Amino acid sequence: MSSAATTAPSVDKVDGFSRKSVRKTRQRRAQSSSQFRSQDKPIELVQLPLLKDVSAQEQPELFLKKLQQCCTLFDFLDTLSDLKMKEYKRSTLNELVDYVTLSRGYLTEQTYPEVVKMVSYNIFRTLPPSDSNEFDPEEDEPTLEASWPHLQLIYEFFIRFLESQEFQPSVAKKYIDQKFVLQLLELFDSEDPRERDCLKTVLHRIYGKFLGLRAFIRKQINNIFLCFVYETEHFSGVAELLEILGSIINGFALPLKAEHKQFLVKVLLPLHSVKSLSLFHAQLAYCIVQFLEKDPTLTEPVIRGLLKFWPKTCSQKEVMFLGELEEILDVIEPTQFVKIQELLFKQIARCVSSPHFQVAERALYYWNNEYIMSLIEENSSVILPIMFASLYRISKEHWNPAISALIYNVLKAFMEMNSALFDELAANYKSDRQRERKKDKEREDLWRKLEDLELRRGIQNSDGVIPT
């Protein structure tokens, strides 16, 4: 074969269709919202005087005029059009930001609808299509919003407006209503992380100031998450929404309402099953732990939920689950631990014997956690029999020497905890395996008999239906 080896074609350029190489050729795009159609005419805005240059009486009216001017939208994909007017709007927005921050007495009743209108005109838009089929949020650059130079200032202005001392939610609630919030939530799907960050602050302020909207906001976030988990698996702003929820959960009154518990079990736990978990896992785990710190009796349903969604094939996710579980165990009450320990350690036994060394390693690190160790020690008579077979088998078989070493330490710890039980399990190991094999064989026999029966029935039936 030597002649072949030397002349064999090089493999590196064999397949030109791999995802990476296709991607490299694609230029990074900035994308604008879907609403801009090419405008034929250039846009003209009348230059207004600066607010500080007019008298105090004239300021409110000029402020309104400037708000109206800022409703004009520009096409940012066309980098050459309307340059002067784009710059004018930018400086006007800057001025408005300063004005709402520093001025007193500017917020009259008429101002509210105009502010909300201006903000709505600018931020509410249909988000453009994304390359969702191929888009890998962990590796790909996000598509950035082209109109950000203006959009950023709009968000800043709106946040300053909401935070202003003169801001009165009782007046604003006529304009910042359910429909407004719904559109705001839809924007969390924006691929631009800068925009999502601004939205997070905006939503947080609205949740804080508008008590009447709170239940509605929570319900709509529920819907977004459920749609994300069960329908699309695609939504850019999950992490941001979870971050807001983290602080919302923190503020829940005790005892927890049924609605909140349902949210935990039916919405937050299923979020663990999503493929892109890594993008929001930290925020999700934070929310879960918040719930458990509020109400320890939720520990059992939460751990059962995690076990239900435990990853079967994705080791990377499995490591995240183990991390979250350790966070939960860090705050678990011993009485709760006892309720769930058997199910839990059956899973940990499987993780410890995972052929993926990162999974095995992550699980074995639990034995370095003093609090977890103390829980295990208290319940060693239950946990040791569950863990023993896996540990014992893997201590001899695992391909990774680091894992073997960790296992050895764990076995040693168990031996010191409860040497009598340990010796008994070691002595019975062989006969237990034999019993298992016998059981397997019995199962095979049972199914063989059942299948024979099915065959016999089939023959009987086909005999039986012969027409006379």
Q: What are the tokens at 115?
A: 């502010």
Q: Is 55 in the site for another protein (CB under 8 A)?
A: no
Query: Cβ of residue 217: shortest distance to another protein, in angstroms?
Result: 14
Q: Give pairs for 1-6: CB < 8 Å, separation 24+.
A: none
- Which of these, 186, 187, 250, 178, lies nearest to 217 by C-alpha position? 178
Q: Is 3 in the site for another protein (CB under 8 A)?
A: yes
Q: Which of 166, 230, 397, 441 binds another protein (CB under 8 A)?
A: 230
Q: What are the tokens at 120?
A: 């709505």
How many residues does the structure list for the chain? 468
Annotate each residue in 295-324 with x if it binds another protein (CB under 8 A) or - if it does not, as one string.
Answer: -------------x----------------
Q: How far apart are the first and last CA of the chain?
A: 71
Other Cβ atoms less than 10 A from the Cβ of 343: the count is 14
Q: Is 462 in the site for another protein (CB under 8 A)?
A: no
Query: Cβ of residue 275: shortest distance to another protein, in angstroms?
Result: 14
Q: Which of 36, 148, 357, 429 binds another protein (CB under 8 A)?
A: 36
- Which of these, 206, 212, 304, lies nearest to 264 by C-alpha position? 304
Annotate each residue in 370-409 with x if it binds another protein (CB under 8 A) or - if it does not, as one string.
Answer: ----------------------------------------
Name which of residues 133 to 192 contact another protein (CB under 8 A). 179, 182
Q: Which of 105, 129, 401, 467 binds another protein (CB under 8 A)?
A: 129
Rounded CA-CA distance 195/449 in Å is 65
Q: Which of 24, 37, 104, 396 binds another protein (CB under 8 A)?
A: 37
Distances (CA, A) of 395 to 172, 353, 383, 398, 408: 66, 9, 18, 6, 7
Q: Which of 34, 79, 110, 335 binds another protein (CB under 8 A)?
A: 34
- The DSSP call for residue 311 is -
Q: Is 128 in the site for another protein (CB under 8 A)?
A: yes
Query: Cβ of residue 263: shortest distance to another protein, in angstroms?
Result: 12
Q: Is 226 in the site for another protein (CB under 8 A)?
A: yes
What SS3 state is found at 40?
Answer: coil
Single-letter amino acid, residue 348: I
Name which of residues 67 to 126 contact another protein (CB under 8 A). 126
Rounded CA-CA distance 408/364 in Å is 10
In the complex, the residues that contact another protein under the rule CB under 8 A are 1, 3-4, 7-10, 13-17, 34-38, 126, 128-129, 179, 182, 223, 226-227, 230-231, 266, 270, 308, 346, 443, 446-447, 449-451, 453-454, 457
